[in-house]
A and B are shown apart, each in its own frame.
Chain A
Amino acid sequence: MIIDLPSTTTSQLNKKLVELRERGGAVALGRVLTLVIAAEDDDQLEEAIDAANEASREHPSRVIVVAKGSRTAAPRIDGQIRVGGDAGASEVIVLRLYGPLAIQGQSAVVPLLLPDAPIVTWWPGGGPKAPAKDQLGQLAQRRITDSAAERNPIRALTARSRSYTDGDTDLAWTRLTNWRAQLVSALDLPPFDRITGASVTGEADSPSTELLAGWLAEYLKVPVKRVKTSSAQGIVSVAMERRSGTIELTRPDGRTGTLTQPNQPTRRIALQRRDTRDCLIEELRRLDPDEVYEAALNGLGKLSTRRKAGTGTKSTGTRSAAAKKTATKSKA
């Protein structure tokens, strides 16, 4: 059910919500969190709401969408309440904010927050440089940005690594989980040799690739090379060197990974790129600070970069640990 409340106030919205609950049975009870979606009022808005609705099947939540409309219009809130079939297992409140209100979103959101339940703010498109300082970010225990959705992903990631505050997280990091899981389990197997070096290959403006390299650099405490390629999307391959040989995980087609380890048969793994819904579900699963993400951001500063020709051929370049430059100056 979709109920439109044009040119409304938050108290009217609240009243309507209570009324809906009384009429239709317990709607808002049992919600575990409030998810605030901060976005522009454009085509991508509905996609984000859909992803949130899907995620609500695992995390019942109240979704408050703050859609910023024209800044030059007269100040006005157009409200919309969606419940039942139109809202997955959640209830969605869409607030279209116009004029000066557009940048004062928190004033409209606060009265609609669920009591006591944790708050998560998600910027599905462009987000603030310092999420924790943003007005909508300040409300939340957890702030989800998506560097890959920015116009300049790497610059956004760098800015966020500088302003990192506990509770920040980024979907570029979430997209990595499967890669990281495979790499971790690869190291669980013999031979138990120390890793001496590593390199990560991926698209030049793929923030996930940067983070993966940063994570490896931070945890392996070895020089990690960031190789840039334009032959495929996202992360393409990771290699970890050991005395006994190199462990390599490559995904040239964005779907299937191949894991090669010395003295072991080559293994193929389904490693498709994850959709937003998947990532959001994973994000909402935990609301405490992600120390590992913080460490990976730290690692960004320890990378050495090397640009590679736009072909899909394998990198055989010299692996010099001395060439430590920050990966972040790329694409500038």
Chain B
Amino acid sequence: MTRRWNNPLRDPRDKRLPRIAGPSSLVIFGVTGDLSRKKLMPAIYDLAHRGLLPAGFSLIGFARREWEHQDFGEQVHDAVAEHARTPFRESVWNRLAEGIRFVQGSFDDDDAFDRLAQTVKDLDAERGTGGNTAFYLSIPPWAFPVVTKQLARCGLAESSEDVWRRVVIEKPFGHDLTSAKELNAVVNDVFPEESVFRIDHYLGKETVQNILALRFANQMFEPIWNANYVDHVQITMAEDIGLGGRAGYYEGIGAARDVIQNHLLQLLAFTAMEEPGSFAPKALRAEKVKVLGATKPVEPLDETTARGQYTGGWQGGKKVVGLLQEAGFAKDSITETYAAVTLEVQNRRWAGVPFYLRTGKRLGRRVTEVAVVFKRAPHLPFDTTSTEELGQNALVIRVQPDEGVTMRFGSKVPGTTMEVRDVTMDFGYGHSFTESSPEAYERLILDVLLGEPSLFPVNEEVELSWQILDPILEHWAKRGAPEPYQPGSWGPPSAEDMLTRSGRHWRRP
């Protein structure tokens, strides 16, 4: 019956209609956390403001705090007022507030989960959520087994034909291949893989999705998107902040596990993958899995990787402390705050093209970008003096901030002599487009509620990523302390060496 129903008002040509999620509710575990306050709650309000949430949408918070529904509602209110992207509107808020509930308890408290199950049931009766529920686990991974087991015990994890139950998990997805497999086993034990949504918020960003549009909707880029023309690719995610206050999460994890394993390898997959047969989630994932499966670290690791740890010093006019002085970190911590690796994609398209991935804290500025650097023209019919200042052509996809695409090429310097110098051509998503472009979390939460999995990495992608990174991590573990680097710089000297060995250099983003 369900299959045969054709909604008479639906018309595929009707592109105005937003995708509104069906009746549903969202349960957030770890609702008192930073992420929940700064990202999730505002994103939910913004979705409501844009009219994308279903009538009767309900939000349930679960935490140990002794809160009443109203206290939690107040928390959400404050978070929304402070962090939401869209203007605060009383009428929108009131509708949302009607569906806000709070369940107090700890993760091992059977009673609390029974109350949660009851709340979900009540909301279906009161507000017509249909029992459809997404569980957002904004909690440390050690708590996953307890929580998923509790959900299973209360019958909250079972989907049926009419009712869906989904679980959303955040990084870290383990700290190596073995632990990732264990974690997947724990989660898949309760929720089948198609109900598991792993959030990598980078994939919710417009610019990342635009990589696919840029590559596959245009004719002018794809023909040169291969080893014949591309010299190398640099993927950078730099942050200017330090790790003050994040020791609990970061100590022993380090930059590679924190960023390269998920964000940067996903960016690599988007940049290097073959064209998918369609944009159906399955087809897209198949291509990503293929390209990640073909990606390997380049040996010898001593020469092709670099890691560093920031020291104290001056950054951007401010005196900052080194990692070893940050509260919570061991005085002899060997956690790296900068990591750079060289990877190769072993297929015909990319044979011989190094992919350099780097990430770090307390670097020059906050920036994330993918730079595809092209080979030099094989022959230059100019005097050598005219092209002295000509670099390599590059196409840079700026993921954040200042989203857009930059192209770098040579142009004649005005004057009587023929002199060619690098210039850039810029496409920005409007000067202040970021104000109106939806936050990554909005898109991803909506996708969870719609059950649209394209932008979420699957189990296999996570495990493949660890497979790529594990040999590097093992190698580093044997090497002792990382190399120190100045705050506000672009990383330790070894990072520079790793490129100069092959006559290349890092782009200054």
Contact = CB atoms under 8 A, between A and B. Distances in A.
Contacts of A206: none
A174 B16 CA distance: 8
B76 to A, nearest CB: 16
Interface string A193-236: 00100000000000000000000100111000000000000000
Contacts of A185: 20, 22, 54
A89 B431 contact: yes
B322 interface: no
B10 A272 contact: no
A282 B16 contact: yes
A268 interface: yes
Nearest to A61: B430
B116 to A, nearest CB: 20
Contact of B9 (A57, A187, A259): A187
B9 A268 contact: no
B428 A30 contact: yes
Nearest to B90: A255
Interface in B113-154: 125-128, 130
A329 interface: no
A30 B433 CA distance: 12
A120 B452 CA distance: 33
A184 B9 contact: yes
Interface string B432-470: 110111000000000000000000000000000000000
B217 to A, nearest CB: 15
B20 A192 contact: no
B213 interface: no
A271 B50 CA distance: 10
A29 interface: yes
A270 B22 contact: no
On chain A, which size bracket covers the interface? 35 or more
A220 B11 CA distance: 12
A314 interface: no
Nearest to B404: A30
A178 B430 contact: no
A60 interface: yes
Contacts of A59: 430
Given A185-B22, A281-B436, A269 B95 contact: yes
B60 to A, nearest CB: 17
A282 B18 CA distance: 11
B7 A187 contact: yes
A24 interface: no
A220 B98 CA distance: 33
A198 to B, nearest CB: 11
A195 B331 CA distance: 72
B82 interface: no
Secondary structure at the B interface, as helix, strand, loop or mixed, is loop
Given A180-B17, A181-B20, A281-B436, A272 B430 contact: no
A176 B242 CA distance: 48
B204 interface: no
B426 A184 contact: no
Contacts of A192: 1-2, 4-5
Contacts of B94: 256, 270
Contacts of A220: 8-9
Nearest to B93: A270
B155 interface: no
Interface in B27-54: 48-49, 51, 54
Given A265-B125, A270-B95, A57 B433 contact: yes
B127 A219 contact: no
Interface string A155-196: 000000000000000000010011011111101111010010
Query: Which of B14, B48, B127 lies at the interface centre, i.e. has the most chain A CB atoms within 10 A of its CB?
Result: B14
A115 to B, nearest CB: 15
Contact of B430 (A60, A184, A259, A269): A60
Contacts of A259: 55
Interface string A235-260: 00000000000000000000111010
A272 B127 contact: no
B229 interface: no
A184 B55 CA distance: 12
A168 B127 CA distance: 40
A286 B15 contact: yes
A180 B10 CA distance: 10
B7 A188 contact: yes
25 contacts: A30-B426, A57-B430, A57-B431, A60-B431, A89-B430, A174-B16, A177-B17, A177-B18, A184-B17, A185-B22, A189-B23, A192-B5, A219-B9, A265-B56, A265-B126, A265-B127, A267-B56, A268-B95, A269-B55, A269-B95, A281-B436, A282-B16, A286-B15, A291-B13, A292-B13
Interface of A: 26, 29-30, 56-60, 88-89, 174, 177-178, 180-185, 187-190, 192, 195, 216, 219-221, 255-257, 259, 264-265, 267-272, 281-282, 286, 290-292, 295
